[in-house]
């Protein structure tokens, strides 16, 4: 009995101690109260962006949360984004330590997305800025054009199969993004999203995202749980082995055929990586991590953006009709849209800008961190604090736009810039924060801009898209996780005339159909 009483007293003492350590670590920091040990961890629920935007209204543009033993600093307004990510960009340019994503999946944070700010990050980031810069992406524009038409062809085939019942096009959108990345990464592609290798790649990507979700971050927030949850790390090591085995096979195949591939598709990421591996500047393992990051960073972000855009066209038929009229006027029906048409399609640019603002692919940007303890607005930000840019709050809730909670592409009509111009233009008046900012701004911006623009131009040229029979689309619904695509709503794709099929058979198969070897 005495033993039990001592145990209870020790337990209470431990809780009081942790509680007081807790309180002692939060002086002068605005933010909602939390619970001992867990802090605000249990409060966030499945739609954290909504609650966190509500807290921003109460506690300000910068406020603090405790996620177990980790501090979060939440950034919620366009002004605060500009200040933290751009003006004070150097101070906040690092990334926080994470066990699963950092230590295991990117082998001690040795990729670009997870590595701390410094020369190693800078060296590795150059592979991305060289491969995905405007000039190099433009040199691959035939690839993008071919893939955008292949997307239409695949949508046409599925629409013939499913009719007015409709189907979810998420896998089509993913394989569109995947084939573009595959070509730029290795000079290869999959012939269909039904290809087993394509399915494996998409499944591995899904699995990766499952493991960077909240459940697997528990051991970052509550490190004392680590010995009790060994399966989390075991799962991550299993994925590490499968993922890098899979990517390694592709990379080895590229290495074997490098000369032939380079002759067909020059300037791939693998070409740069192989050169560096041969020079001894980069290990093979690190080359594979950079390849893995290309897929992880570029695939679901691009495809979720296009899935949202398609849904917004379906739920705003007036916008879709106006887009079709613009494409008909500029392109006509005797040919399909190409990149040369994009500068003459301002309304499509407005749709892309507004769709990304209104329903971007993720509600938060990647967490940032400070490399050292630092003081911001009189508060000490400890090294290890996660800086969380809330994209939803900045784009929607605290935007200075009128009716910011309404999808209205017309709001951009007086200045229909491209997505790239919006993100890399004047930061103090920026509205759309989806690609981050400053030193770590997304290096895939231009590729995403061009691939989404071509896809939407070809989509509205080819189809009238509507909800599948009986489908009640609810735009408030989204999946939880790091990326937040909409649920698998069924959509029906009705070709806008016989000319669509005819054009797909002629124009759709030219360009690089036989220049890239398909699996």
Residue 435 binds ligand HEM (CB under 6 A) = yes
Residue 409 binds ligand HEM (CB under 6 A) = no
Residue 297 binds ligand HEM (CB under 6 A) = yes
The residue among 193 and 368 lying less far from ligand HEM, judged by its C-beta, is 368
Residue 212 binds ligand HEM (CB under 6 A) = no
Helices (H), 338-433: 346-358, 391-392, 419-424
**Of 441, 467, 473, 475, the one binding ligand HEM by CB under 6 A:** 441
Applying CB under 6 A, the site for ligand HEM has a residue count of 30
The residue among 41 and 109 lying less far from ligand HEM, judged by its C-beta, is 109
Annotate each residue in 323-362 with x if it binds ligand HEM (CB under 6 A) or - if it does not, as one string: -------------------------------------xx-
Applying CB under 6 A, the span of 52-60, 252-260, 329-337, 430-438 interacting with ligand HEM comes to 430-438
Cα separation, 133 vs 182, in Å, equals 16
Residue 434 binds ligand HEM (CB under 6 A) = yes
* 162 contact partners, CB below 8 Å, separation of at least 6: 468, 490, 492
Residue 270 binds ligand HEM (CB under 6 A) = no
Cα separation, 241 vs 258, in Å, equals 25
Nearest by Cα to 189 from 198, 181, 179: 179
Q: Side-chain half-sphere of 26: how many Cα atoms within 13 Å? A: 25
**Of 40, 76, 276, 301, the one binding ligand HEM by CB under 6 A:** 301
Applying CB under 6 A, the span of 249-257, 277-285, 433-441, 505-513 interacting with ligand HEM comes to 433-441
Distances (CA, A) of 64 to 91, 302, 395: 18, 30, 20
* 404 contact partners, CB below 8 Å, separation of at least 6: 396, 397
Q: Side-chain half-sphere of 478: how many Cα atoms within 13 Å? A: 25
The secondary structure of residue 388, as a DSSP letter, is E
How near is the Cβ of 434 to ligand HEM at its closest, in Å? 4
* Chain-centroid distance, C-alpha 506: 34
How near is the Cβ of 181 to ligand HEM at its closest, in Å? 6
Distances (CA, A) of 426 to 43, 390, 394, 414: 36, 20, 16, 16
Nearest by Cα to 113 from 441, 381, 361: 441
Cα separation, 285 vs 366, in Å, equals 23
Applying CB under 6 A, the span of 76-84, 222-230, 293-301, 471-479 interacting with ligand HEM comes to 293-301
Q: Side-chain half-sphere of 329: how many Cα atoms within 13 Å? A: 11
How near is the Cβ of 290 to ligand HEM at its closest, in Å? 8
Annotate each residue in 172-201 with x if it binds ligand HEM (CB under 6 A) or - if it does not, as one string: ---------x--------------------
Q: For the purposes of burial, counting CB atoms within 10 Å of the CB of 75, is it exposed (0-12), middle (13-18) or buried (19 or more)?
A: buried
How near is the Cβ of 308 to ligand HEM at its closest, in Å? 10
Applying CB under 6 A, the span of 278-286, 295-303, 322-330, 472-480 interacting with ligand HEM comes to 295-303
Tracing tokens 């040795």 back to the chain, one arrives at 110
How near is the Cβ of 72 to ligand HEM at its closest, in Å? 15
**Of 174, 294, 385, 492, the one binding ligand HEM by CB under 6 A:** 294
The residue among 37 and 371 lying less far from ligand HEM, judged by its C-beta, is 371
**Of 183, 268, 302, 484, the one binding ligand HEM by CB under 6 A:** 302
Strand, helix or coil at 306? Answer: helix
Nearest by Cα to 66 from 21, 99, 103: 21
**Of 41, 145, 353, 442, the one binding ligand HEM by CB under 6 A:** 442
Instruction: Quote the tokens at residue 229.
Output: 């949850």
The residue among 112 and 460 lying less far from ligand HEM, judged by its C-beta, is 112
Q: Which of residues 368-387 bind ligand HEM (CB under 6 A)?
A: 368
Annotate each residue in 120-149 with x if it binds ligand HEM (CB under 6 A) or - if it does not, as one string: -----x--x---x-----------------
The residue among 181 and 232 lying less far from ligand HEM, judged by its C-beta, is 181
**Of 448, 482, 484, 492, the one binding ligand HEM by CB under 6 A:** 448
The residue among 294 and 324 lying less far from ligand HEM, judged by its C-beta, is 294
Tracing tokens 């791939």 back to the chain, one arrives at 268
Task: Give one DSSP letter per residue of 95-144, joined into a string.
Answer: ----IIIIIIITTTT-SSSSSPSSHHHHHHHHHHHHHSSHHHHHHTHHHH
Applying CB under 6 A, the span of 72-80, 220-228, 244-252, 429-437 interacting with ligand HEM comes to 429-437
Cα separation, 292 vs 181, in Å, equals 11
How near is the Cβ of 355 to ligand HEM at its closest, in Å? 10
The residue among 286 and 440 lying less far from ligand HEM, judged by its C-beta, is 440
How near is the Cβ of 441 to ligand HEM at its closest, in Å? 5
* 310 contact partners, CB below 8 Å, separation of at least 6: 169, 173, 459, 465, 491
> Annotated binding residue at 442?
yes
Q: Side-chain half-sphere of 262: how many Cα atoms within 13 Å? A: 13
Cα separation, 511 vs 359, in Å, equals 33
Residue 94 binds ligand HEM (CB under 6 A) = no
How near is the Cβ of 117 to ligand HEM at its closest, in Å? 9
Instruction: Quote the tokens at residue 7.
Output: 């145990």
What is the Cα gyration radius of the chain? 24
Q: Residues annotated as binding site?
A: 442
Q: Residues annotated as binding site for heme?
A: 442
Residue ranges that bind ligand HEM, judged by CB under 6 A: 85, 112-113, 125, 128, 132, 181, 293-294, 297-298, 301-302, 305, 360-361, 365-366, 368, 434-437, 440-444, 447-448
């Amino acid at each position: 009995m005495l033993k039990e009483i001592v145990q209870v007293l020790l337990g209470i003492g431990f809780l009081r101690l942790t509680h007081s350590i807790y309180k002692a670590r939060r002086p002068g920091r605005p933010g909602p109260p939390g619970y001992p040990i867990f802090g605000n961890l249990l409060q966030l629920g499945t739609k954290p962006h909504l609650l966190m935007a509500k807290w921003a209204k109460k506690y300000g543009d910068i406020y603090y949360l405790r996620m177990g033993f980790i501090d979060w600093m939440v950034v919620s307004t366009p002004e605060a984004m500009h200040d933290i990510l751009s003006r004070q960009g150097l101070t906040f340019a690092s990334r926080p330590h994470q066990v699963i994503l950092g230590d295991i999946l990117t082998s001690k944070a040795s990729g670009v997305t997870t590595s701390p700010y410094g020369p190693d990050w800078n060296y590795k980031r150059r592979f991305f800025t060289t491969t995905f810069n405007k000039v190099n992406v433009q040199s691959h524009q035939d690839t993008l054009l071919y893939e955008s038409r292949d997307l239409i062809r695949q949508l046409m085939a599925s629409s013939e199969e499913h009719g007015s019942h409709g189907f979810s096009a998420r896998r089509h959108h993913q394989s569109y993004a995947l084939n573009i990345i595959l070509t730029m990464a290795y000079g290869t592609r999959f012939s269909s999203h039904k290809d087993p290798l394509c399915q494996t790649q998409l499944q591995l990507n899904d699995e990766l995202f499952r493991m960077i979700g909240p459940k697997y971050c528990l051991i970052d927030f509550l490190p004392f749980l680590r010995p009790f949850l060994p399966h989390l790390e075991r799962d991550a090591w299993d994925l590490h082995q499968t993922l890098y085995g899979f990517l390694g096979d592709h990379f080895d195949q590229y290495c074997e055929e490098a000369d032939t591939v380079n002759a067909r598709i020059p300037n791939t990421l693998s070409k740069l990586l192989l050169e560096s591996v041969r020079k001894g500047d980069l290990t093979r393992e690190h080359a594979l991590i950079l390849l893995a990051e290309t897929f992880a960073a570029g695939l679901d972000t691009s495809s979720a953006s296009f899935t949202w855009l398609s849904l917004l066209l379906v739920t705003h038929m007036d916008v879709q009709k106006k887009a079709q009229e613009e494409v008909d006027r500029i392109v006509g029906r005797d040919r399909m849209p190409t990149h040369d048409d994009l500068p003459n399609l301002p309304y499509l640019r407005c749709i892309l800008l507004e769709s990304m603002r209104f329903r971007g692919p993720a509600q938060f940007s990647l967490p940032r961190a400070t490399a050292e303890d630092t003081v911001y607005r009189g508060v000490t930000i400890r090294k290890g604090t996660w800086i969380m840019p809330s994209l939803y709050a900045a784009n929607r809730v605290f935007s200075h736009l009128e009716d910011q909670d309404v999808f209205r592409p017309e709001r951009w009509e007086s200045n229909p810039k491209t997505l790239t111009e919006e993100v890399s233009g004047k930061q103090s008046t920026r509205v759309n924060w989806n690609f981050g900012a400053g030193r770590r701004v997304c290096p895939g911006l231009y590729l995403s801009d061009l691939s989404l623009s071509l896809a939407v131009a070809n989509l509205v040229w080819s189809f009238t898209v509507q909800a599948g029979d009986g489908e009640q689309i609810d735009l408030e619904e989204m999946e939880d996780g790091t990326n937040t695509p909409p649920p698998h709503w069924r959509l029906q794709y009705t070709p806008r005339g016989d000319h669509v099929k005819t054009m797909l058979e002629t124009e759709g198969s030219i360009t690089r159909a036989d220049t890239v070897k398909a699996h």
